[in-house]
Amino acid sequence: MFKKNAVSLCVFLLGEILLNIYNMENRGTFGSRFGAIAAIAGSAVGLGNIWKFPYVAGENGGAAFLLIYIGITLLISIPVLLSEFIIGRRGQSNAFRSFINVAPHRGWAVIGILELLGAIFVLSFYCVIAGWSLEYIVQSCAGGFKGMTQQVMDERFNSFVASGYRPVFWMVIFLLLNGIVLVMGVTKGIERCSKFMIPALFCILVMLAGVNLWQPGFKEGAAFILEPDWSAVTGQTIIKALGQSFFSLSIGMAAMITYGSYIRRQESLVSVSVIVSLATVLMAVLAGLAIFPSVFTYHVPVTSGPDLVFKTLPPLFAELPGGRVISILFFILLFFAALTTSLSIMESLVAFFTEELKIKRISALGIGLGIVIVCSTLCALSQMPDSPITVAGMSLFDWTDTFSSNYILPIAGLGCVVLVGWFVPRTVVEHEITSSGKYYFWLFRFILFMMRFVCPLVILFMFINGLVN
């Protein structure tokens, strides 16, 4: 009976995919308010919250970093996010064409090209890490972490990354899963997937945080993420909080401009921006509560860095009651978070190739997947011992991460906020923010002030700091 049902399900899904390929439209739109928020929140809530935030917070004072991160998100990132939404919804096209439609002076299209380059750079290393989550789901199901020492876990992870072919295999699987969703289109693919995955993400995080209530280190872990230690704050902490906020909200990588073009005219861009931003903060806090109690229970340094999720946590989870289930849930969570974000970034490439090359969506998807598979394969292989695939003394994997975070994202974000703040007519900006007068927004002048003066200066400072370092 089980085999019969499984076969029937596979046949149904295959038929659904083929039907959507046949009926595929080049441009879609979000079908509902919840669907739009779920998809955009899915783009924002990704590895930046689950993988990156805990270790960056651990290195920069815990709750102090969190409060700075929240402040920057509310005051800087939301106006920049709004700028990208305005460009996308006003331009009604891909990230490149939207700049031309909003500002006919062709020079602004350079920012659109930069955003698309940012999408490729981010996906190049992002999909490799996402592939790691699939490997760890399989290992968790097999009970592979029980009784492992930290040294053995380090050796296993290093061996996996250095093997080359295994990370490439899982990265390709991950991208093919992206393709299955994207081939269904915006409404039936991205929106439907996000409506399921975002609530599932929240439930898994709450469950994992709840399990930690009975751990001896819960009080210390909660205090670390909720009670600020201002003595650990430096100038670099603020810079990292700004970079973390941009990375978490998918700013500067074409995704939010593309999604902005799918938001219906009657939707409030301000409310969508605020809800999505608060969702990323909530998920980051829950991720901290799901991770740090185990870290404090087993006396692991909170400054374990990027290794925290893939080297430090698996053997810790294995020691807990029901450790295998907890480990499986955690890496499924990581996979869901990676998938919802990668879908948005991949969609920006698909929209670009579809509209600029005047080709079918399925062909554009094939081109986008091909480019990312090649770039991600090179990134994965660059981590092999003595790999010649290096740039500026770094592996290609590390270089794409560093270059996109320090250069592409801040420059693209700066371009968007300067364009909307200074060059798009004020009446147009007000028209988009208020949805043609449907929503009276009393903070409009404040947001415009932030777009014109504060955000550009802060982002410029971030960029200069990146150059200096």
Q: What is the DSSP string of 217-275?
A: THHHHHHHHHSB-GGG--HHHHHHHHHHHHHHTTTTSSHHHHHHTTS-TTS-HHHHHHH
- For residue 402, the surrounding DSSP H or E stretch is helix 396-403
Whole-number pLDDT of residue 469: 67
Whole-number pLDDT of residue 27: 66
Whole-number pLDDT of residue 43: 92
Handedness of CA 391, 394, 397, 403 (dihedral sign): negative
Q: Coil, strand or helix: which one is 395?
A: strand
User: Measured between alpha carbons, how far is 13 from 6 in angstroms, rounded to an integer?
Assistant: 11
Q: Give 10-residue mean pLDDT values along the chain (469 residues).
A: 50 50 62 91 87 84 91 92 97 96 89 97 96 95 80 89 95 97 94 94 91 87 88 83 87 96 92 92 89 84 73 81 88 94 97 96 97 98 95 95 87 95 94 81 87 93 75
Say what the alpha-carbon torsion angle 125, 131, 136, 142 is, to the nearest 10 degrees. Answer: -160
User: Against a cut of 0.75, is the pTM above it?
Assistant: yes
Find how far residue 146's CA is from the centre of its chain: 30
- In the chain, the N- to C-terminal Cα span, in Å, equals 61
Task: Determine the angle formed by the axes of helices 165-182 and 361-381, rounding to 10 degrees.
Answer: 160
Whole-number pLDDT of residue 290: 87
Whole-number pLDDT of residue 22: 42
Selection from 146, 450, 438, 103 nearest residue 257 by Cα:
103
Identity of the residue numbered 444: F
Whole-number pLDDT of residue 373: 98
Whole-number pLDDT of residue 262: 96
Whole-number pLDDT of residue 414: 94
Identity of the residue numbered 15: G
Where along the chain do its domains lie? 28-468
Selection from 394, 50, 42 nearest residue 190 by Cα:
42
What is the chain's length? Answer: 469
Which top CATH class is 28-468?
mainly alpha
Find how far residue 92's CA is from the centre of its chain: 23
User: Measured between alpha carbons, how far is 242 from 236 in angstroms, rounded to an integer?
Assistant: 10
Instruction: Say if CB 450 and CB 284 are below 8 A apart.
Output: no
Whole-number pLDDT of residue 23: 46
